[in-house]
């Protein structure tokens, strides 16, 4: 029986980006996208959409990001489809970031971590999005589970939604913004990691001046690229020297190419080509 430690998410992500490019594609079976594919907004329609998209896209990208809410709305049978998406993506060689934005305290946080990061769960993913807004220390169960299992986290830091600024750009007692304090905590977790830490941040592709350093020696998951208006130029402006660690995320920009599997694969490859400059 092997007692070797799992390879950390950051190292696996760095290798995957080197091999397959840096774009992340969301698997988001939104009702409007189902309709654009000629599918009904039913469990069967969602399953057809999600599995077709995953099987077409996952062989061509480093990481896919299923949005759990669009599966959970169909109850337990929708969650069963989500488990199949995780399995299909892994079989195609892609990493999986489960987009659930969970955040709680104590044993509840641990239960969420077990659900989405422990290999004994059929929803276990390579990384998970989390919310630090009950205090960064509330993420300790996720951090410890990530270290034990080789998974990663992406903590919400500077999001593009207008409402986020009222919290994220508020000033703390020590003079930092809330977002800066979250980034500082992530930076500390990644301090000794090479080639890349496993504790990342979520930063929107269309935010204004971040007002703080985004260099955390960890991955920067950047939603909003493509159909939501974020451009490569935006990301170069926002991230500067940290752009080499950016993982741009697009959903509709690729998914609207369906239902043709060939068109979906072509769209994923084109997105990868467009953002390749960020690593240079």
As a whole number of angstroms, the distance between CA 88 and CA 51 comes to 8
As a whole number of angstroms, the distance between CA 256 and CA 242 comes to 30
As a whole number of angstroms, the distance between CA 122 and CA 277 comes to 36
Q: How many CB atoms lie within 10 A of CB 11?
A: 18
Q: Report yes or no: 247 and 221 within 8 Å, Cβ to Cβ.
A: yes
**Residue with tokens 């970031």, as numbered in its chain:** 97
Could you tell me the CA-to-CA distances from 115 to 43, 88, 142, 146, 149 in Å, in that order?
Answer: 22, 18, 11, 12, 12
Q: Report helix, strand or coil for 262.
A: helix
Q: Report yes or no: 157 and 168 within 8 Å, Cβ to Cβ.
A: yes
As a whole number of angstroms, the distance between CA 248 and CA 22 comes to 7
Question: Among 15, 37, 84, 101, which one carries the catalytic annotation?
Answer: 101
Q: Report helix, strand or coil for 9.
A: helix
Q: Report yes or no: 9 and 127 within 8 Å, Cβ to Cβ.
A: yes
Let me know if 48 is a catalytic residue: no
**Residue with tokens 């992500």, as numbered in its chain:** 13
Which residues belong to the active site? 101
């Amino acid at each position: 029986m092997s007692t070797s430690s799992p390879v950390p998410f950051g190292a696996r992500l760095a290798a995957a980006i080197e091999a397959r490019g840096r774009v992340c594609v969301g698997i988001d079976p939104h009702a409007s996208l189902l309709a654009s594919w000629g599918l009904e907004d039913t469990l069967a329609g969602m399953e057809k959409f999600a599995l077709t998209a995953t099987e077409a896209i996952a062989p061509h990208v480093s990481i896919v990001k299923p949005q759990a809410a669009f599966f959970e709305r169909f109850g337990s049978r929708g969650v069963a489809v989500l488990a199949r998406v995780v399995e299909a993506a892994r079989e195609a060689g892609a990493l999986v970031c489960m987009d659930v934005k969970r955040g709680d305290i104590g044993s509840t946080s641990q239960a969420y971590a077990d659900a989405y990061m422990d290999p004994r769960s059929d929803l276990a993913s390579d990384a998970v999005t989390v919310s630090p807004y009950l205090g960064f220390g509330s993420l300790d169960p996720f951090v410890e589970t990530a270290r034990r299992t080789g998974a990663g986290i992406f903590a919400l830091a500077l999001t593009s939604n207008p409402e986020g600024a009222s919290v994220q750009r508020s000033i703390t007692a020590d003079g930092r913004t809330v977002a800066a304090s979250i980034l500082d905590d992530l930076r500390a977790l990644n301090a000794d990691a090479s080639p890349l830490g496993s504790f990342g941040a979520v930063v929107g592709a269309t935010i204004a001046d971040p007002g703080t350093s985004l260099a955390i020696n960890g991955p920067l998951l950047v939603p909003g690229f493509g159909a939501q208006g974020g451009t490569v130029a935006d990301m170069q402006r926002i991230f500067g020297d940290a752009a080499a660690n950016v993982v741009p995320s697009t959903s509709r920009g690729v998914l609207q190419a369906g239902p043709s599997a060939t068109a979906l694969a072509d769209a994923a490859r084109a997105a990868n080509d467009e953002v390749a400059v960020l690593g240079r």
